[in-house]
Amino acid sequence: MHDPMESALTRLRAGELVAIPTETVYGLAADASNAEAVKKIFLAKNRPSNHPLIVHIPHPCKEGMTASEKNAAWAELLSKWARDVPEEALILAGKFWPGPLTLILHKAKNVLPEVTGNQETVGLRCPNHPVALDLLEKFEGGLAAPSANRFGHISPTTAAHVRHEFSDMDLMVLDGGPCTVGIESTIVDLTRLSTQGPVILRPGMISRQEMEAALNLSVSDIRSNAAPRVSGSLSAHYAPRTAMAFFSGLASFPERARKVAWVHFPGTPLPPALHSREVTEVVLPISPEDLARNLYALLRDLDGRHFDLIFLDDLPSETRWDAVRDRLVRAVNGSGTGVGQSR
Ligand code: TXA
Ligand code: MG
């Protein structure tokens, strides 16, 4: 029997793709310093080549290091990928890495244009998953990895999801069990600090408030600014084939929707419009962390069950639900068109 870790390393060093577990979602990884390997990611995903990839980096800190030694270790590692690394990046790395946070920085000269989608910036993340951290430490380089799904489809949070997604390919999947966070990392852009401060490009389970507290700075959100720059910010994304709607999003209930998945929080009374339908109930967990962990598995499962409509309770308006709400709004926007399966 081959050791999966050794096989993964051999494949990555040979310029092959390997699907890897992270705490957020599974990634489709390639050696970030090998342009031919990186191109395979775009081919496999059917992803436009101008969409930049996140480079996953190892954890450089050893047990027993002092705070200033840790800071120096992050600074040294980040300088391999980024130039003019600001103090804010070191603070966020020290506080949230390994973890579900991606930093956008000015790229170092050697970073391949294939990785950055020809932009002058690079996305970096140290993932908090024991298998990924072990792999990255042994690989001794960066792994470019987008979520391991076809472009526009739902991100995978188990090895089985990845195998299903790429069943037509001979892809090695390093199985690290179900992802514990379940939705993609928060992305924060630190390349316009002097004019706009830190800007969140994609919300995730590390919140604006947590970053503000760590930095003692106000952090803004791209959604209140200009045009989207990241695929995760296209309005329709993570899209199931089945039509989905929020309770408050329907002026009237569609007559044709007979077979309905009613996805709601505990205690919500059955909406009168559903009295005469064939209803399958799904009760949601009441914490955003629990919902995030199971969200994509739930969407995949519901999408496979041929409902006419997936009817969702509105989410609480508190900011701690922002990241989950963001994914569900996109799923609703892209749903019912076949977009999720065909892109
Ligand atoms: O949690 C995650 O971030 C997962 C795991 C695998 O790490 N990865 C992930 O990758 O979600 P992906 O490619 O599906 O989404 C990454 C997003 C994309 O929307 C991409 O456009 C954006 O990050 N991104 C990467 N580099 C960027 C850059 N230099 N500037 C702006 N956006 C960038
Ligand atoms: Mg993705």
Q: pTM of this prediction?
A: 0.94
Beta bridge partners of 261: 280, 310
Give residue 112 CA to ligand 1 midpoint distance, Å.
Answer: 16
**Ligand 1 atom nearest to 24, measured from its CA:** 1
Q: How far apart are CA 277 and CA 275, in angstroms?
A: 6
127 Cβ contact list (under 8 Å, min separation 6):
22, 23, 24, 27, 56, 98, 99, 100, 133, 136
**Using one digit for the tens of pLDDT, what is the confidence trace for 312-324?**
999 999 999 999 9
Ligand having the closest approach to the CA of 203: 1
Check if the beta carbon of residue 216 is closer than 8 Å to that of residue 111.
no
| Surrounding residues of ion ligand 2, Cβ less than 5 A | 147
pLDDT value of residue 228? 44
Cα 59 to ligand 2 centroid, rounded to whole Å: 23
pLDDT band at 339 (very low <50, low <70, confident <90, very high): very low
pLDDT at position 335 is 87
**Gap from CA of 304 to ligand 1 centroid (Å):** 27
Let me know: does 140 contact 149? Beta carbons within 8 Å.
no
Mean pLDDT of 269-286: 94
What CA–CA distance (Å, rounded) separates 17 from 319? Answer: 37
For 181-236, write each residue's pLDDT tens digit: 999 999 999 999 999 999 999 999 999 999 999 999 999 998 765 444 455 545 55
Residue that has been written with the tokens 């989207």 in this structure? 228
State which ligand 1 atom lies nearest to the alpha carbon of 100. Answer: 1
> Which atom from ligand 1 is nearest to the alpha carbon of 51?
21
Task: Please say whether the beta carbons of 122 and 82 come within 8 A.
Answer: yes
Atom of ligand 1 nearest to the CA of 147: 14
Top CATH class of 4-215 equals: alpha beta
pLDDT of residue 234: 53
Please report the atom of ligand 1 found closest to the CA of residue 47. 13
Pocket-testing residue among 149, 187, 225, ligand 1, by greatest number of atoms within 8 A of Cβ: 187
Q: Is the pLDDT of residue 13 over 50?
A: yes
Centre of ligand 1 from the C-alpha of residue 325, in Å: 18
Q: What residues does ligand 1 touch, defined as CB less than 6 Å away?
A: 22, 24-25, 27, 51-54, 100, 102, 104, 116, 119, 121-123, 125, 127, 145-147, 184-185, 187, 201, 229-232
Where exactly are the structural domains of the chain? 4-215, 244-339
The mean of the pLDDT values for the chain is 93
Q: Which ligand is nearest to the CA of 232?
A: 1
Q: Ligand 1 pocket test: which of 57, 105, 133, 184 has the largest number of ligand atoms within 8 Å of its C-beta? A: 184
